[in-house]
A and B are shown apart, each in its own frame.
Chain A
């Protein structure tokens, strides 16, 4: 059973379109992170959210942590080919010091 479910699993869009990817769980997390991984490389941390309802912006990327701290979303405005990659959410539970990774959303932005 996957503790963190990401949707969609795969997304192919045209350059300039907007998109949202989701990270959902039935468990509460003390914090949640988003990583982007390009082919042949390790994941790179984009953002960490720690407060229920928190919204963080990173240029064209907007991250939101759910009020109940069970889910998160990543919204990309005017997607560019450079946004292509595997987006992974990862959560940290209060009872553990180990990150739990989601299944990932593979994004392809076509020029």
Chain B
């Protein structure tokens, strides 16, 4: 089966600029996650969707980050305006129903804010 697709793979922007990331999950996966992985750290959950509804966005810096999953399939994550500390790899993952099912990850988008 096709995996989780993310684009772009790399992005370099100046601070205070805006950026958007796109994710196409595995077909049929209702759960979609966005994780932020700062260099040297494990993935940190930013937001989780179940179909097109938000399940958990408690760690999303809502003053600058936003995400949507219209139609319950593709998702976009936006940062506006970006800060230097937003430099990280942004991972998208999707999961089928059930607590024991594994999450499948995309390749990630490496963001560098200069």
Do A and B pair up? The answer is no
- Interface residue ranges, A against B (CB under 8 Å): none
- Interface residue ranges, B against A (CB under 8 Å): none
